[in-house]
Chain A
Amino acid sequence: MTEPLKSPPKKNPQLRTSAPTLPPTMRSRAAMGLTAAAAEGRFMLQVCADCGTVLYPARDACSRCLSTDLHWQEVSPKGRLLAETTVRTSTNLYFRERAPWRTGTVQLDVGPVIICHVHGDVERNGRVVLWNRLDRAGQGVLIAMPEQPTPNMEDDPQLRAMTSDPKHRRVLIADARSENAAAIARALKKAGAGQVFIGEAEAWRPNPMRAVLEDIPGVQILPLDVTDTRSVAELAGEIGGKVDILINNARFLRPGGALSRGDTVFAQQEMEVNYLGLMRLAQAFGPGMCARTADGVNSAVAWVNILSAHALVSLPELGGFSASQAAALSLSQSLRAEFRASGLRVMNVFIGPTEDDWHQPLPPPKVPPEALARDLVAGLQAGLEDVYCGDVARDLIERFRAGAKVLEREMTTGQG
C-alpha cells in the first residue's frame, strides 16, 4: 500500500527552488506512437497487419515477417513482472534527483517483453497491468501497475511524477462568470486540491455565480480579466508563485460566421478572450509556473485549456467562434513547445455544445458542467494532454481522424 501523500508544509523562502530537469526526451518517429496514445491515456502497441505479431519496442518493420504494415492498436495491457531493479544512481539528472527508481521487465500476455516503470505496490513477479502515461518530457512511457487498485495508489511518487494530479495542488480557474467554474472548483476540491483561486472580470458587473462559488470551501475569488493585460499581470504578480494548475475556462461566444455578422466586433471579442486571453495568461503565468515544475508535492504541473471541439473543424453556425478556438488550439501547441523544457503539461479539454445560454438553441447532447469537470479532473489525474469530453467531441475527433476533408464537407453542407 502506498504511503498517503501529505499536504506540503509552507515553502521555506530561504531555499532555492529546484530547477526543472527532464527524463530523456529523444524518441524515434515510430516510438512516438506510444506518446500519441498516452496523450489520451490509451494503451496501444504496434501490431503487424500481416502476421498479427504485437511488437515492442516500436519499429519500422515486423521482426517476424518483415512487413512494414504496422499499426498502433489497443491490445491487452496485462502481463507479469519477470525481473525488477531499483535504480539508485543515474547519469541522467532527472532520475538522479528522484532515485531510488523502480523499473522492471514485464512480459505481456500478448507477447512482447517490456522494460517499464514499476509502481511501488506491484508484488515481486506479480501480475500487472501496464498503463501508458506521459512522462515529464512529454513522451509516452509504460508503468506496471498492480492488477487490482491499491489504497492511495495515485500517490506513488513514480506515478505522480507522470500525472498532473490536483491533490494538494493550488489551482487558478480563469473565469468566475463561466457556467462551469463552480462544477470545476467542486470537482477539484473533491480530488484533494489545495487552494482554488477563481478570477472574476469586471467586478463592477453583477456575477450571478458568485454566491455559489463563495459557498465552496477553500475557494477565493480574485480580480482577473483576460482581455486586460494589466489585470492579468497584476494577478500573476500576486499569486503567480502559487499556481500549480491553471485552468483557462474564459470564453466568449456569439453565433455567426463572416457574412451573417457583417462586422468584426464579436470576432474581435472572441479573439480577445479566446486567443489573446490565452496568450496573456501564458505570458503572465507561464514563466513562473515553468520555474516551479520541480517544487515538491505542490509543484506546478499543468495548464488546462477548455476548447470547443470545433477548434478542429469549423461549425459554420459558430464560424467566428470556431476560428478563435482554432487559434487557441494552435497557440496551445506552441505553448507545449515553449513549456517543454520545464515539463509543464498543456492539457486541452475539447467539448461539444455545453449547457449554457449560447447553446440553448442547439439540440442535445450537450455537456453539463459536472461532466466537463469530471473529465477535466480525471484527465489531470491521468496526466493527459488531450481530453474529448462528451459525445459530440468524441464523435468529431473520430470523424476528424477518419478523414479531415470529408468531415469539413459534412460540416459545411449542414450534414454535421
Chain B
Amino acid sequence: MNARQSYEGVALVAPASTEYRRYSIETAHWWIATALRQALDVAGLRPADLDGLSLASFTLFPDSAVGLTQHLGLCPRWLDHIPMGGAAGIVALRRAARAVQAGDASIVACVAGDTNQIDSFRQLLSSFSRFATDAAYPYGYGGPNANFALLTDRYMQECGATREDFGRICVSQRQNALKSPRAVMKKPLSMEQYLAARPIADPIALFDCVMPCAGAEAFLVMPVEEAERRNLPYATIAGAIERHNAHAEDPIQLRGGWTMDIDELYAQAGCGPADIDLLQTYDDYPVISMMQIEDLGFCAKGEAPRFVREHDLTTTGDFPHNTSGGQLSGGQAGAAGGFIGLVEAIRQVTGTAGGTQVAGARRAMVSGFGMINYDRGLCTGAAILEGAGA
C-alpha cells in the first residue's frame, strides 16, 4: 500500500455558521448561500474568486451541486457533491485539500446546509435509503432514534454503560452550548432533567436525540501562502482518514471504521491521543460519541463510560469535547451536522472560538460518522487539525 501523503501546504480558513432555526420557510439554497456569503465576507473574497465548490445537502431536491452553481452564480473548475451526512465535513476536507495541493483548484468553498420545513424531516426519512425503506422504516418507523436505541441498548449490555454516563455527555455539552451564541438550546440542563426526560425509543429519551433544524456551515480551503497573503488565521491538516462499511460482520455496530485507520492517522499526524487538546465527535446520540472516544484511541473498547465519568468534558475541563455544544445542544441542520464540529475545530485552533474557546487549543481532533443505511452508520472519518492556537 502506498504511504499516505501529507496535507501540508493546505490552509483551512473562514469558518462560518449561520444561525440555526427549528423550522424554516427558507430553502436549502437560501441557507447554503447565507453560509457561503458569510465565509467569503470573513475572507474578503467575492464569489468570482472561488474556483472550487464542495457541497453537502439533503434537501436541495431537485437540484444538485451543479444546479446550485447557476443558482448562486458560481463558476468553479472543481466541483464535488458529498452525500455522506455526518461524515461529509471530513470527506469534503480531504478531497478539497487534495484538489488544492494538486492545483486543480486554488480556493475551494466547502458548504453544507439544509432547511427544515414542517414535515420535511419525515419526507427526508422516507426516501433516505433503499435498505432503510425496505427493512427499517416498516418496523415502528422510529427513524434514527430507533436505530440508535438498538445500538445503545446493546452497548449498555456489553459495556455496562448507564443512562447517567450518557447524561454526562449531554449535560456537559449543554454547558458548552450556553457559551456559544449560535446554539439552539439556551437553557441549562441538569442530570435530573436529563434522566427524567420523556422516553423516545427506550433506552433513548428526549435529551439523547438531536433536534432537526435548519442551518448551514462553511469553510474555505486554500494554499497556506494564500491564507497568509490575505492575513487570514488558518488551520492545517495534520492527518485525515475515512472508511466506509467497516466491520460488516459485526451483528451490531459497537465499533466504527475509525478502528481500521486510527493508527495511521496518528502516525500521519505525528502525535498520539494525549497530544489532542480537544475532541469534536459526531454526536447525533451520546452512544456514538462514546464509541468515537474509544475507537479514536482515548480509551479502550468498553471503557468510555468510565472515561466520561473520570473527565470533565466542558471547554474548561481536562477533556474538552464538542465545545460549541455539538449537535445535541446546537441542533442538527441536516448535512451541516457533518460540518459543525469541523468548523468549530477550525475556530478553536485559530483562536477565534469566542466564548467557547479552549485555552491553549493548538491541536484538535474532529470525527465524522454518517449514513444509517439500514442498521448502522456506514461512513466514518477523522482529522487532526493544527493551528497557531489561542
Contact = CB atoms under 8 A, between A and B. Distances in A.
Contacts, number: 117
A28 B130 contact: yes
Given A82-B252, A116-B139, A87 B201 contact: yes
A391 B284 CA distance: 56
A82 B149 CA distance: 12
Given A85-B149, A85-B150, A115-B150, A57 B139 contact: no
A113 B251 contact: yes
Nearest to A135: B138
Interface hub of B133, B139, B248 (most chain A Cβ within 10 A): B139
Nearest to B151: A83
A31 B142 contact: no
A382 B8 CA distance: 64
B255 to A, nearest CB: 15
A152 to B, nearest CB: 22
Nearest to B149: A85
B71 interface: no
Given A28-B130, A105-B150, A89 B200 contact: yes
A27 B133 contact: yes
A63 interface: yes
Interface residues of B, number: 38
Interface string A77-112: 000001111111111101100000111110100000
Contact of A24 (B130, B133, B248, B251): B133
Contact of B141 (A57, A87, A114, A116): A87
Contacts of A24: 126, 133, 137-138, 141
Contact of B252 (A26, A56, A101, A113): A113
Contacts of A101: 140, 142
A103 B146 CA distance: 8
A137 B238 CA distance: 52
Nearest to B205: A88
A139 interface: yes
A103 B142 contact: yes
Interface string B119-145: 001100110001101111111111101
Q: Size band of the A side of the interface?
A: 35 or more
B199 interface: yes
A139 B133 CA distance: 12
B202 interface: yes
A83 B154 contact: yes
Interface in A33-72: 56-58, 63
Contacts of A125: 157
Contacts of B137: 24, 92
B154 A105 contact: yes
B242 interface: no
A117 B134 contact: no
Interface of B: 121-122, 125-126, 130-131, 133-143, 145-147, 149-151, 153-154, 157, 198-204, 248, 251-252, 374-375
Interface of A: 23-24, 26-28, 30-31, 56-58, 63, 82-92, 94-95, 101-105, 107, 113-117, 125, 135, 137, 139, 141
What 10 A-B pairs are tightest by C-beta distance, nearest first? A85-B149, A92-B141, A57-B135, A31-B134, A87-B140, A91-B122, A87-B142, A83-B154, A83-B153, A101-B140
